[in-house]
Structure 1
């Protein structure tokens, strides 16, 4: 499935709890990411519907904001592009749209640009204003 056009400037990883205050070079994978073999990511337009589907009962979420270009270059969580095992983004069709999946890499201090705490006020769509 092709990537959206134009490409997003940022991708987001939704976390149900706060990551460490100082991000390590490699964050642990969620059970779902480990099971599926890739890291689930969302564009700014997908975060609210994903949060409504999977995190509806939560009153706050944490988002890892990641520059698309950094992940597209294959940058791993430690900030290094591995020549022999390049991490990559694949855009794949999932029941309700085309989502970014990060294969072969981790998220961490070397590729996450910001951590955002979001408190739910009404719906997640009401609570979120994210950069594309």
Structure 2
């Protein structure tokens, strides 16, 4: 499937709870990611609707912000090169980034964002994002 144009600057991994601090080289996979065989990622435009669909009842979430160019180069969670491949694949309501064969961790996560839900997720993403690391 074709990647969006222009390519996003960042991709986001949504977490229902705070990741370990400090961030390890490799975060454990969610049950969904393990079962599907890849890490689910969203662009900034996709994140609010993904939150509405899968995290509607949550009052806060955590986002791992990852530079797209870092994942596209195959930089793994431990910072090593040549691991992982981003594939853009159709999923329900759009084309989403999926990371195959790689991990997320301190070597490729740009920062951690805490988002408290106030109003809609779209409003919360716009006005209520706190950088943690």
* Fold equivalence (TM over 0.5): yes
Structure 2 stretches lacking a partner, 5+ long:
none
Structure 1 runs, 4 residues or longer, greater than 4 Å off: none
Q: CA deviation at 1:96?
A: 0.3
Residue 108 (str. 1) matches residue 111 (str. 2): no
Tell me the TM-score normalized by structure 1.
Answer: 0.94
What stretches of structure 1 of length at least 5 have no aligned partner? none
**Structure 2-normalised TM-score?**
0.93
**C-alpha RMSD of the superposition:** 1.0
Cα deviation digits, residues 11-50 of structure 1 (max 9, x gap):
0000000001200000000000000000000000000000
- Kindly report which structure 2 residues correspond to 1:53-92, keeping only aligned pairs within 5 A, or say none: 53-82=53-82, 86-92=83-89
* Structure 1 partner of 2:27: 27
How big is each residue's C-alpha offset from its partner over 1:34-89, in whole Å with a ceiling of 9 and x where there is no partner? 0000000000000000000000000000000000000000011001014xxx3100
Shift of residue 8, structure 1, vs aligned partner: 0.3
Q: In the aligned structure 2, how far is the partner of 1:57 from the partner of 1:87?
A: 32
Query: Match for residue 125 of structure 1?
Result: 122
Higher relative contact order structure (alpha carbons within 8 Å, sequence separation ≥ 6): 1
Q: Matched residue pairs, number?
A: 127
